[in-house]
Structure 1
Amino acid sequence: MSDERSIKRRRTKVEKRANDSTDIQPMALEPAFHYFITAKIGEGIRDRTRDDYSNTWRYFTGWLAEENYDVTYVHEITTEICRTYIHYVTVEAPRYKGHKYIQTDQGKGLSAATINMRIRGLKVAFNFWYREGFVRKNPMDNIRCQKVDEDKIKSFTDEQVEALLGACDQRSYVGFRDYVFQWTLLDTAMRMNELLSLKPEDIDIKTRSVTLAARFNKNRRVRIIPLSAETVKLLMELIDENRIHFPHAEKVFLSCYGDEVQDTQMNKRLKYYGDITGVGKEIRSTAHTWRHTAARNYILNGGDPYTLMRLLGHSSINMTRRYVQMTADDVRIKHDQFSPVKKFRTRLR
């Protein structure tokens, strides 16, 4: 018998070796995307997100066909192909290609925001296919989103706000509806789809507030938005008009025929007021610009950023900070009001 005691040694770990024929399940491009989007719908994604994924994949596979890439299965798409595509949309892709109304040459190279949306969409899709065993690795793993200049976000000046509101002919139904719509955007900082989804029963006159259902909010949470007395009065006046002319209508903001107003229709109306006032030459006249204007003025009037974050429906203060872009004049005026030297200057004198 040996004097040495036996020792149980750890076995050396052997890495699993990839096998080109058995380590993945080959899946053709279109069936793979159909499987992906079906799974995402099952997870409860919004219609807008579904459309974004579909458009991203359509643009990408369209480019593959135009460039004659011999790609049949999703696992054949490499990082090199993806980087070449990102370079194409950054430098060479025609802007507004295939647009229904814009046919003139608008230059080449898409915006960083559009490119980033496509990068994120492809990342999500390939991550899904990697987990399902359709690809060996995500070719988008090392591709980062482009940097976006956050300081480009602008808001209306006081003079522009007065011009846009004053351009609404309140003697007509549509003009009054547009006035109430813009006024409510300024008071509440609501999103376009949130305000267009508003029903009379969503408005609580006693508490002067609007209750937005979770399905209309990006973060899927119920949101209660306070209203000023002037806004409640205008909304109730519009609702009374609707009941007279369109007694069976369910929404607050309606077309002149009593139909629900779509976001494309209202965007055209907002652009119209920007055009006739000249404001549109200086800044985009959109619901999003009204939202930024409301956020900026809330802070300038003494509101705190954390309450504003709740009003805007943001999940982080960083996103709210992007909405509050102060001008040089804003900073100067606040500095004159709150500079620490004012206290010491008075004492020394």
Structure 2
Amino acid sequence: MVKRMVRGRKAMTTDQSRNYALDEAFELFCKVKEAEGKRKRTLLDYRKHWGYFRKWLDSYHPEITFIRQVTSTIAREYYLYMASDRSKYQGVSNRYLPGVKLAPATVAIRLRSFRAMFRFWTIEGVIKENPTLNIKPPKEDEEEIVVFSEEQLISMLSAANRKTFKGFRDWVLMTLLADTGLRISEAVSLTTELIDFSNNVIRLPASLNKNRKKRVVPFSSHVSANLHELIEENRLHFETDFVFVDVYGKQLTADAVRKIFRRYAEKAGLIGKVKFSPHVFRHFFCRQYLLNGGDIATLQAIVGHADITTTRKYLQVETTHIRSQHEKFSPINRLFD
């Protein structure tokens, strides 16, 4: 029996009597998800997470070659391996950390992809029963978000040599991130047409936003002047609409920025003091926005959080701030001052 699959995409077919090979079933899943408009990053994550599962199967269950051979027992065994046995960066010689287990958040992300695949194959009749149905994601302890202090941010900014093109570009990028809370992927995708200098806002289209909704991101007059200067300098040397480019005029990638910023963090002596990535600039903006009196609903709109519970995490404040605020507003202090 052949079942037609028509869900707002080009019609495809699956033969329910056929036993798909593992990678054949996965390629079918990827083709459909690509047709449904899944982002390139999501599709790459699917391939990466499927690769982890296939390596595990080759090591522990080489006899499994067809998707229908993956039972609930096998699925549960793989989940327990991720949650209890696998070490961080296992298989990566220069980053392997023996004894350091995968974080619950990492396990949850991989499990989410794993379950999405088997849910798809069940719905489409590729398999008869979903072996991941009763596997629940691990519980995650809510961790306090650790961000730059203002002094640490200044140290990062000071590490960039603004007398060079690269140093000035990086300095502008860091100030933009700290001023707007943009994701690094959004910042490196900025083109001049997205920047409205008359209103000092960035108009991000839905295609660049993680939750697929367009949004308007304000920036300060100080950052406006920096952006103007960088764009004018780009025009002197390159023919490009991208704001952040390398010395050859090519668009900077998020991975390149991560490496560049890490070098600045090392130069500023921040490695080991802050869990460093470009995302800490976003954390800095969110925390400072709230501490300086901004409201949470506006912050959610600026940074593009789909769920306000994500934004609420930034209401956590450092112990020093709590102590200073208590000293300032203590009823006993006010009574006896």
Q: Quote the offset at 1:124 in angstroms.
A: 0.5
Partner Cα separation in structure 2 for residue 32 and residue 320 of structure 1: 38
Contact 1:78–1:139, Cα closer than 8 Å, also in 2 = yes
Superimposed CA distance per residue, residues 73-126 of structure 1 (whole angstroms, 9 cap, x where no aligned partner): 222211211121122223332422344xx5254114222222111100011011
Post-superposition shift, 1:136? 2.1
SS at match of 1:150: coil
| Poorly superposed stretches of 4+, deviation over 3 Å | 22-25, 334-339
Per-residue deviation, 1:300: 0.3
Residues 43, 182 of structure 1: CA spacing in aligned structure 2 closer, same or farther, 3 A cutoff? same
Q: Paired residue for 1:90, among 78, 83, 89?
A: 83
Shift of 1:320: 0.9
Give yes or no for contact 1:150–1:322 (8 Å, CA) kept in 2: no
- 293-302 vs 24-33, greater mean Cα deviation: 24-33
Q: Deviations over 1:277-332 (max 9, x none)?
A: 11122013321111011100000000011110001101211011234442111222
Q: Check conservation: 1:271, 1:284, Cα contact below 8 A.
A: no
TM-score by length of 2: 0.90
**Cα gap change, 1:191 to 1:72, in 2 (>3 Å):** same
Q: Which residue number in structure 2 is paired with residue 330 of structure 1?
A: 321
Partner secondary structure for residue 282 of structure 1: coil
Match of residue 75 from structure 1: 68
**Higher normalized strand content (fraction of residues):** 2
Which residue in 2 is equivalent to 1:4? none
- The amino acid across from 2:312 in the alignment is R
Structure 1 pair 105–222 and aligned structure 2 pair: CA distance change class (3 A): closer
1:208 to 194, 200, 203: 200
Please state if 1:266 is matched with 2:269: no
Q: Runs of 5+ in structure 1 lacking a partner?
A: 1-21
- AA in 2 matched with 1:270: F
Separation in structure 2 between the aligned mates of residue 285 and residue 57 of structure 1, nearest angstrom? 28
**Structural mapping, 1:19-58, within 5 Å:** 25-58=18-51
SS at match of 1:70: coil
Helix, strand or coil for the counterpart of 2:97? coil
SS of 1:255's equivalent in the other structure is coil
- Partner of 1:151: helix, strand, or coil? coil
The match for 2:177 is 185
Counterpart of 1:111 (choices 78, 90, 103) is: 103
**Residue in 2 aligned with 1:3?**
none
Contact 1:189 1:295 survives alignment (8 Å): yes
Q: Which runs of 5+ in 2 are unaligned?
A: 1-14
Taking only the aligned residue pairs, the percentage that are identical comes to 35
Contact 2:16 2:126 in 1 (8 A): no
Is residue 186–residue 290 contact of structure 1 (8 Å, CA) maintained in 2? yes
User: Is 1:301 paired with 2:292?
Assistant: yes
RMSD: 2.0
Pick one of 240, 244, 251 that aligns with 1:253.
244
Q: Which one-letter code corresponds to 2:119 in the other structure? A: N
